[in-house]
Chains A and B, each alone.
Chain A
Amino acid sequence: MKPTKITNRIRQLRFAAGEMTQAELAEAVGVTRQTVIAIEKGKYSPSLEVAFKMARQLGVPLDEVFQYPD
């Protein structure tokens, strides 16, 4: 499986959002905690819907959560 070039700042953003835990973010978005862990590590690319839900929960626009290098 090819690694993704997409990176994310979920971990930092969780701490910035009142030290939100992986479990809290997972519940708010409707996925399992293991899926949040996999997304943070770049081991799973979420659907666009889950990506938007994460951004909304973290209180930032989508491109602050996920980045694609130039």
Chain B
Amino acid sequence: MTFEEKSTWLILVTMTLVYGWYFATVAGQLGGTDVGDIDYQGLMLTTVGLVVALAVVGIILITVAGRGDDSKDERDKTINRYGEYIGGFVLTAGALGGMLLAMIELEHFWVANTLLAGLVLSEIASNITKLVLYRRGVVSW
């Protein structure tokens, strides 16, 4: 497994776990509380910081385990491009969703969380696409 493939796994697992926990926690408060009273901002910023910190630590560990080999070649770049292309569609959908919710003047809670969900889902879609291509192959001829 190349450094890039390991990094892709790392980002996918980290984001799924951390943001899965965040959305589960926030959704758990929806029942009995008015959305305007849900204190999601601190938790959201904490999870963003946590994902970045875990990703940095994980990348360092992968690099050390691979004896410093962080080489990337044209296949990695091609796979990355396909992944980002797919992720871009999801990101656009999330941005449009957030824009729509802002236009109909829904609570900031919904707008912020829709935008975050778009970002997270786009990363997940992008990384799953990359892993599928790493396993199944990418043939452009």
Docked complex Cα distance between A23 and B2 (Å): 13
Contacts known (A30-B73, A32-B75); A42 close to B139, Cβ less than 8 A: yes
**Chain B residues near A46 (CB-CB < 8 A):** 74-75
In the complex, whether B133 has a CB less than 8 A from a CB of chain A is yes
Q: Is B1 an interface residue (CB 8 A)?
A: yes
Partner of A44, one of B5, B72, B138: B138
* Residue tally, chain A, CB below 8 Å to B: 19
A32 touches B2 (CB 8 A): yes
A44 / chain B contacts, CB cutoff of 8 Å: 75, 78, 137-139
Q: Which positions 3-27 of chain A face chain B at CB distance < 8 Å?
A: 3-4, 6
The answer to whether A1 and B138 touch (CB under 8 A), given A34-B1, A34-B2, is yes
CB–CB B74/A43 < 8 A? no
Is A35's CB under 8 angstroms from B137's CB?
A: no
Residues in B neighbouring A4, C-beta threshold 8 A: 139, 141
Interface set of A (CB-CB < 8 Å, partner B): 1-4, 6, 30-32, 34-35, 38, 41-47, 50
* Interface residues, chain B, with chain A CB atoms under 8 Å away: 1-2, 5, 71-76, 78, 133, 136-141
16 contacts between A and B (CB under 8 A): A3-B139, A4-B139, A31-B73, A31-B74, A32-B2, A32-B73, A34-B1, A34-B75, A35-B2, A35-B73, A43-B136, A44-B137, A44-B138, A44-B139, A45-B140, A47-B74
